[in-house]
Structure formats: C-alpha cells, structure tokens
Amino acid sequence: MGFVDAIKVCFSKYVGFEGRATRSEYWWWALFMLLLAVVLSVVVGETAANLVFLGLLLPSLAVGARRLHDIGKSGWWQLVNFIPLIGLILLIYWAVQPSEGDNQHGPSPSN
C-alpha cells in the first residue's frame, strides 16, 4: 500500500475501529500526520494546526486500534500511551510487529 492509498483508506474509515490495518497503512498515516504538523505549523501557525489535529484525532485513534487488532491486541491498549515514555516505546514496538495471520478481528490484510 502506497502513501496516497493509505491516506484514502484512513479517511474512508474515519471512525472505523473494527477490522485490521497493515503496517504500511499505519506508518504512512503517521508520516502524513508528521508532514501535516510541520507544514501547518509553519504556514498557518500553532492554533490552526491544533484545530486540524483535533479533527484528525478520530481517524488516528481508529488506525491505531486497527493496527493493534492486526497483531491480536485490543484497540484499548492505546491507553498505555498515557504512561510517559514506556507507553510510547511499547506502542512503537507493537506497531512494527508483523501481522499475526487470521485472528478474532478478521482475516489477515494484504500488504
């Protein structure tokens, strides 16, 4: 899955917390958010950038939950991010793991 395809999928599943997301879909979305943060902060300022990110919070949580589903974990594990540093490290570790194959969240997605 390429950059544009991943962004389209994330927007089409704006609040879709069910199903699974491939590693490429998750990481392309993360890159999109990073690039958007840099561009918006420079061009329109912090306040406008924060408003855009508030609007993109749900699709970000949804793709994170679907990524966790892909490795057989509940999307609620995203709450571990509230543990400073350790939570972030754990989520990054899980995000780079390969798909576990068919599981309770559905068939293995194609890369």
Q: What pLDDT does residue 101 have?
A: 84
* Helix, strand, coil percent content, the chain, rounded in steps of 5: 65, 0, 30
pLDDT by 10-residue block (mean), the chain, 111 residues: 92 91 94 92 87 93 95 94 95 93 84 58
Give the contacts of 47 (CB within 8 A, at least 6 positions apart): none
| Contact call for residues 99 and 70 (beta carbons, < 8 A) | yes
